[in-house]
């Protein structure tokens, strides 16, 4: 029996041995293989269109999932190229740059990202585009309708060294960073980020101090999620003790990043401001995509020097929108950073980290801190999650949108309702967001205003409406 909860909006993710079983993973491989066979080849090259690269993260069960998935793909006649333990962006990279003479149009990264050790899953790229949303749901429905039992195909894979080509590419791309003037500290959280970055730092003679660089799927030191301030404590303490001005932290599969200086930890929207400012200073009016959780300060700043676009949360959504609009970059609050300027438009925390270091070649750490400190002050609440059910979360959002058309008399005056992803209610002095998570049965909320009192007011009034709706379900 298939657990449909593993087929999420952006990827396939579940618990090894519980809902990621041998039959299910093999079936996913068979179904993906059939989709690849039926897809139109890029550049009319039928042979290359049947090539797929597969990598995996540090989780102890990742190699086993690789074997099961490989057997399923081989059953459909897909040629499997093994790139071993790598950061997720290396799997994306291998669909854009030939590796050992191989051009692959498709990739699967076996990873649980920043989830606890028992989780794992698949981030899928087909024809160099994210495989997500309705496509993932359709794959799950097909497997539910026609279950597939594991039958070994004895697929022969071929190992290729994508990591080496990735190192060479980025070392050349960031040659200007050679002999970087500041020492940096890095926290890899025992994920796979060090496999991607350490060799580049060494080749460029960038002085660095690395914490938890050895991949360990049990994540013994702290949870590998740099979007949570608690997980940055070790890095902050190390920077303070050793007087290091710049720090970088990565999630488990190195597609999300946090930048730290001695006085500040930069969120995804603040990084977008820094990168947009740098583009403008170098003569390029920036076009930047943010998500609905990004601060109003980001949108206002970028619109003064270029143009911003607000869009849905989610790495797959932003990758697609980036290509559609031709924007220079996109940013997610969680630290997914996407560069279409000088790169391929996918989220790569290693690339983003090196782009961040470039900023310090033109401005001091103190000047970069001042660029953020001098922005208009907005008070924001932390992202909060309201438990609900998979069945109710989207219903609540729909009813909330309806209620806001004629809100209660004591509700703050509404300037605008943005329905790109959930409900972002814009008030005179701030905004409130309620959206349904696409990965868990919760509502995600965030509130921001020019003063703490209004931020709390917006939060209180919107949560009252949510509780009213929940009581009627």
Q: Is there a domain that residue 220 lies in?
A: yes
- In this structure, the answer to whether residues 216 and 307 fall within a common structural domain is yes
Query: What pLDDT shows up at residue 50?
Result: 84
Query: What pLDDT shows up at residue 382?
Result: 82
Q: Which domain holds residue 274?
A: 174-373
Please determine, for residue 286, whether its predicted confidence score (pLDDT) is greater than 70: yes
Helices 22-38 and 134-145: crossing angle in degrees, nearest 10, is 120
- In this structure, the answer to whether residues 101 and 9 fall within a common structural domain is yes
Q: Is there a domain that residue 169 lies in?
A: no
Q: Is there a domain that residue 167 lies in?
A: no
Separation between Cα atoms, residue 32 and residue 140, nearest integer Å: 11
Query: What pLDDT shows up at residue 43?
Result: 59
Instruction: Provide, rounded to the nearest whole percent, the portion of the chain with pLDDT above 90.
Output: 88
| Residue 468 belongs to domain with CATH number | 3.30.310.50
Cα–Cα separations (whole angstroms), residue 75 to 98, 109, 154, 468: 25, 19, 9, 52
- In this structure, the answer to whether residues 420 and 387 fall within a common structural domain is yes
Boundary residue ending a domain (346, 373, 400): 373
Phi, psi of 320 (to 5 degrees): -65, -45
Please determine, for residue 359, whether its predicted confidence score (pLDDT) is greater than 90: yes
Boundary residue ending a domain (137, 162, 187): 162
Query: What pLDDT shows up at residue 303?
Result: 98
433: closest CA among 376, 383, 394, 375? 383
pLDDT by residue (tens digit) across 457-469?
999 999 999 999 9
Q: Is there a domain that residue 99 lies in?
A: yes
- In this structure, the answer to whether residues 338 and 207 fall within a common structural domain is yes
Question: Could you list the active site residues?
Answer: 13, 113, 336
- In this structure, the answer to whether residues 96 and 132 fall within a common structural domain is yes
pLDDT by residue (tens digit) across 158-203?
999 999 999 999 999 999 999 999 999 999 999 999 999 999 999 9
Instruction: Among 85-94, 265-274, 431-440, name the one with the lowest average pLDDT.
Output: 431-440
Query: What pLDDT shows up at residue 437?
Result: 87
287: Cα separation from own chain's centroid: 20
Binned at pLDDT 50, 70 and 90, residue 40 comes out as low
Separation between Cα atoms, residue 109 and residue 70, nearest integer Å: 12
Domain count, the chain: 3
Separation between Cα atoms, residue 190 and residue 263, nearest integer Å: 25
Whether 186 and 213 have beta carbons less than 8 Å apart is answered as yes
Q: Is there a domain that residue 312 lies in?
A: yes
Query: What pLDDT shows up at residue 391?
Result: 87
- In this structure, the answer to whether residues 227 and 368 fall within a common structural domain is yes
| Residue 345 belongs to domain with CATH number | 3.40.120.10
- In this structure, the answer to whether residues 387 and 343 fall within a common structural domain is no
Query: What pLDDT shows up at residue 2?
Result: 85
pLDDT by residue (tens digit) across 101-130?
988 989 999 999 988 899 999 999 999 999
Query: Exposed/middle/buried for 373, CB within 10 Å: 0-12, 13-18, 19+?
Result: exposed
- In this structure, the answer to whether residues 357 and 389 fall within a common structural domain is no
- In this structure, the answer to whether residues 139 and 238 fall within a common structural domain is no
Separation between Cα atoms, residue 33 and residue 393, nearest integer Å: 33
pTM of the model: 0.94
Q: Is there a domain that residue 341 lies in?
A: yes
Q: Is there a domain that residue 361 lies in?
A: yes
Alpha helix (H) residue ranges in 204-295: 233-241, 268-281
- Residues written for the chain: 473
- In this structure, the answer to whether residues 220 and 366 fall within a common structural domain is yes
Q: Is there a domain that residue 168 lies in?
A: no
Cα–Cα separations (whole angstroms), residue 154 to 17, 188, 363: 22, 36, 56
247 contact partners, CB below 8 Å, separation of at least 6: 184, 185, 186, 187, 235, 236, 238, 239, 259, 260, 261
Q: What is the dihedral of CA 68, 4, 140, 121, to 10 degrees?
A: -40
- In this structure, the answer to whether residues 228 and 313 fall within a common structural domain is yes
189: closest CA among 231, 238, 230, 236? 231
Boundary residue ending a domain (373, 391, 419): 373
- In this structure, the answer to whether residues 367 and 386 fall within a common structural domain is no
Whether 137 and 7 have beta carbons less than 8 Å apart is answered as yes
């Amino acid at each position: 029996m298939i657990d449909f909860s593993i087929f999420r909006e952006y990827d396939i993710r579940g618990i090894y041995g519980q809902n990621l079983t041998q039959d299910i993973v093999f079936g996913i491989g068979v179904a993906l293989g059939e989709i690849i066979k039926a897809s139109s080849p890029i550049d009319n090259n039928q042979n290359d269109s049947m090539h797929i690269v597969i990598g995996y993260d540090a989780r102890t069960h990742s190699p086993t999932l690789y074997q099961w998935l490989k057997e399923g793909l081989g059953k459909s006649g897909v040629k499997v190229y093994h790139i071993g333990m790598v950061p997720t962006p290396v799997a994306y990279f291998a669909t854009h740059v030939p590796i050992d003479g191989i051009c692959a149009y498709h990739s699967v990264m076996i990873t649980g990202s920043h989830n606890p050790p028992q989780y794992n899953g698949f981030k899928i790229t087909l024809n160099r585009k994210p495989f997500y949303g309705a496509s993932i749901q359709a794959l799950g429905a097909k497997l539910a309708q026609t279950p597939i039992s594991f039958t070994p195909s004895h697929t022969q894979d071929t190992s290729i060294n994508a990591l080496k080509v990735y190192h060479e590419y980025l070392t050349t791309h960031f040659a200007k960073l050679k002999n970087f003037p500041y020492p940096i500290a890095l926290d890899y959280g025992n994920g796979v980020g060090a496999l991607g970055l350490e060799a580049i730092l060494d080749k460029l003679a960038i002085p660095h101090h690395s914490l938890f660089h050895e991949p360990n799927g049990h994540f013994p030191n702290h949870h590998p999620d740099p979007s949570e301030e608690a997980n940055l404590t070790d890095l902050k303490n190390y920077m303070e003790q050793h007087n290091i001005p710049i720090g970088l932290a990565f999630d488990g599969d190195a597609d999300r990043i946090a930048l730290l200086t001695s006085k500040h930890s930069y969120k995804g929207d603040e990084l977008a401001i820094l990168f947009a400012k740098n583009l403008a200073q170098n003569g390029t009016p920036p076009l930047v995509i943010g998500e609905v959780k990004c601060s109003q300060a980001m949108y206002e700043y970028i619109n003064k020097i270029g143009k911003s676009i607000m869009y849905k949360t989610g790495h797959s959504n932003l990758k697609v929108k980036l290509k559609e609009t031709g924007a220079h970059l996109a940013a997610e609050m969680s630290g997914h950073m996407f560069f279409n300027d000088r790169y391929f438009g996918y989220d790569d925390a290693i690339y983003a980290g090196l782009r961040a270091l470039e900023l310090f070649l033109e401005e001091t750490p103190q000047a970069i801190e001042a660029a953020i400190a001098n922005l208009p002050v907005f008070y924001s609440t932390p992202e909060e999650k309201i438990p609900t059910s998979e069945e109710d979360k989207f219903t609540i959002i729909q009813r909330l949108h309806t209620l806001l058309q004629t809100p209660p008399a004591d509700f703050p005056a509404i300037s605008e309702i943005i329905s790109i992803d959930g409900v972002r209610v814009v008030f005179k002095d701030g905004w409130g967001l309620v959206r349904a998570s696409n990965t868990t049965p919760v509502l995600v909320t965030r509130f921001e205003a020019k003063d703490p009192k209004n931020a709390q007011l917006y939060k209180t009034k919107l949560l009252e409406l949510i509780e009213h709706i929940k009581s009627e379900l």
